[in-house]
Chain A
Amino acid sequence: MSTGVESWSAESFAEMSAMSPFVGSEVILTAVVAVVWIVWQIWQIKAENARYDEQEAKL
């Protein structure tokens, strides 16, 4: 069982390019990370708006 590289032998190393685990999952990872970024950005704007509403109410 290996998530990627199984050997650093000369033969394996000569054939190797990508060394990270789960090679082939990069497109899915890109989609996941893009969603994380967009969700964070929306959350940040909502949180900031709520904070200013609260602050305005106190002033």
Chain B
Amino acid sequence: MGYDMTMEISALNEIFVEFYYWITVPLMFLIHVGFCLYEVSISRAKNHMHTLMKNAMLIPVVTITFFLFGFWIWFAGQGPFGDFAGGTTGLPWDATMGANVKDHIMGVFWAAFLLFSWTAASIVSGAVIERIRTGAFLILAVLVGSVTWMIDAAWGWSPSGWMVTDWGYHDAYASGVIHGICGGAALGILTVLGPRIGKFAPDGTPRDIPPNNPWFAVIGLFIIYTGFWGFYAACNLPIGNVNGVWTATTIYGTPTTLSTITFNFLMSLAGGMLAGYFMSKGDSFWTFSGGLGGIIAASAGNDLYHPLQAFLIGIAGVCIAYKLHFWVERKFKIDDAVGAVAVHGYAGSFGVIVCGFMLWGYPAVLDGSATINPLGQIGGAIMMFFVLGFIPTFIVAKILNAMGILRIPHKVELAGLDYVEEQTRAADSQAIVDAELAEAK
């Protein structure tokens, strides 16, 4: 009995692609583990459980809304502006959105996108800890994780998105489409939410609210680094035939290689860590955040940069983000508890803009009908950070604030967001001790 080798290889190729994406999902799960550990460690002991639950509950809420409409937005929003030519692809009742013997990949692809959505909402989560209500945060998490980032991905992170085909927008590993937008979204909320009580002295001087557990916070960032490998891998298509050559491609269908992104991921991480250490004079939190910022700054063009370019862009992005963070904090009294706006928003936007100069004239799409250029990238950075990032969350936060459901009540914030649980736990423990003592007598 013989084999049809063409069919065998074709089937193996399909299974490889499915498995490739599938393995990125548990890797990206680590990003969320890292975010939870990091946020809880940054928060004060009186707010630990609230901080954990606020972040953890975005998982079910973003997941269900992403299934209901988030994934569909990505398909529907591609093509010319306002075209909505995606049909039913990605809608919950589409035949591919479930157990289907004719389609093996959609659920895996959906999950890879969903984990990006969790990351998007989680980036916002860190900035607003210790004073936002969980209910308000979850509404904003749905807005960012299942709506606005999916719009920007449809427009700027697909080969047929109008920002790509009309502006030549290029953002291979999501400097803008994830990090820029989420930094802007966090800033929009922070502007309305206000700082934590005590963050600023009466004369406006910012005070440092130190992490409850600094070394656990950096372990959280270490875990995010690990998960970031899954994020990078998920941004690629593992095998594609580019004009007769088999290679990995970006989401735009333009060629890259695993070798390239491995070089550049690590070199931009190294540059970012060196810069973070230098700028903060060895502060652990900013050194590790710098590593993340370095990757984010180089991500837009890490499909094509030379490793030394990625290294230098990582350094520059982190230096700018660090300086901007403290300038915005002093000037506008913005309390970004984890530096999310800086590490994701400023470093990401810088990365999008610098990519326009570094890759000026490179084809943005395979047929060369659009080319990467500085103006397209500057427009893209503004679109991500302000138009789709800052403005929607600012408006929704204003509405939630007017309804009185945005911020934790003043007295509760002072006492601690876990006050009730802690009192109950202490009372329960005492009751057990009393019962045991009574039994002993």
Residues of A within 8 A of B (CB): 13, 16-20, 26-27, 29-30, 33-34, 37, 41, 44-45, 48-49, 51-52, 54-56, 59
Given known contacts A41-B138, A45-B405, A55 and B61 CB-to-CB distance under 8 angstroms: no
Known: A26-B97, A59-B419. 9 other contacts (CB 8 A): A16-B102, A18-B95, A20-B98, A30-B92, A33-B68, A41-B138, A52-B408, A55-B420, A59-B412
The 7 closest A-B pairs by CB, nearest first: A26-B93, A45-B135, A19-B99, A30-B92, A20-B99, A17-B102, A59-B411
Chain B interfacial positions (CB closer than 8 Å to A): 61, 64-65, 67-68, 91-93, 95, 97-103, 133-136, 138-139, 405, 408-409, 411-412, 415, 419-420
Residues of A within 8 A of B135 (CB): 41, 44-45, 48-49
Q: In the complex, what distance in Å separates the CA atom of A18 from the CA atom of B266? A: 43
Structural contact, A18 and B98, CB atoms closer than 8 A: yes
Contact check, A13 vs B68: say whether CB atoms are below 8 A apart.
Answer: no
Smallest CB gap from A17: residue in B: B102
Q: Say yes or no: A18-B99 contact (C-beta < 8 A), given A45-B135, A55-B415.
A: yes
> How many angstroms between the C-alpha atoms of A46 and B136 in the bound complex?
11
B409 interface neighbour in A19, A26, A56, Cβ under 8 Å: A56
Residues of B within 8 A of A49 (CB): 135, 405
State in angstroms the CA–CA spacing of A59 and B417 once bound together.
12
Asked whether, in the complex, the Cβ of B92 is within 8 Å of the Cβ of A29, the reply is yes
Contact A17 to B100, CB < 8 A, known contacts A41-B135, A49-B405, A51-B420? yes
Supposing A55-B419, A55-B420 touch, asked if A19 and B138 sit within 8 A by C-beta, the answer is: no
B residues within 8 A CB of A13?
Answer: 101
Shortest CB–CB separation between residue A27 and chain B, in angstroms? 5
Contact A44 B134 (CB under 8 A): yes
Considering the complex, give the chain B residue whose CB is closest to the CB of A51.
B420
Decide yes or no: A17 and B101 within 8 Å by CB, A33-B64, A34-B68, A55-B415 being known contacts: yes
A51–B273 Cα distance when bound, in Å, is 42
Contact across chains for A52 and B409 when beta carbons are under 8 A apart: yes
Chain A's closest residue to B98 (CB) is A20
Contact B415 A30, beta carbon cutoff 8 Å: no
CB-based nearest B residue for A16: B101
Name the contact of B93 in the complex, choosing from A27, A37, A44 (C-beta under 8 A). A27
A47 CA to B257 CA, complexed, in Å: 50
User: Which residues on the B side are within 8 Å of A17 (C-beta)?
Assistant: 95, 100-103
> How far is the CB of B88 from the nearest CB of chain A, in Å?
10
Contact A44 B101 (CB under 8 A): no
A34 to chain B: closest residue by CB: B68
* Minimum C-beta distance from B76 to chain A (A): 16
Q: Say how far B250's CB is from chain A's closest CB, in angstroms.
A: 31
Residues of chain A within 8 A of B102, CB atoms compared = 16-17
Which residues on the A side are within 8 Å of B92 (C-beta)? 26, 29-30, 33
Q: A13-B101, A17-B100 are in contact. Are A41 and B415 (CB under 8 A)?
A: no
Q: When chains A and B are docked, how far (Å) is the Cα of A37 from the Cα of B138?
A: 12
Q: What CA separation (Å) do A41 and B399 show in the bound complex?
A: 16
Contact partner of B134 (CB less than 8 A), chosen from A27, A48, A56, is A48
Residues of A near B409 (CB, < 8 A) are: 52, 55-56
Question: Which residues from B are CB-within-8-Å of A55?
Answer: 409, 411-412, 415, 419-420
Question: Measured between alpha carbons, how far is A27 from B93 in the docked complex, in Å?
Answer: 6
Complex alpha-carbon distance, A54 and B95, angstroms: 48
- Contacting pair B412 A56 (CB below 8 A): yes
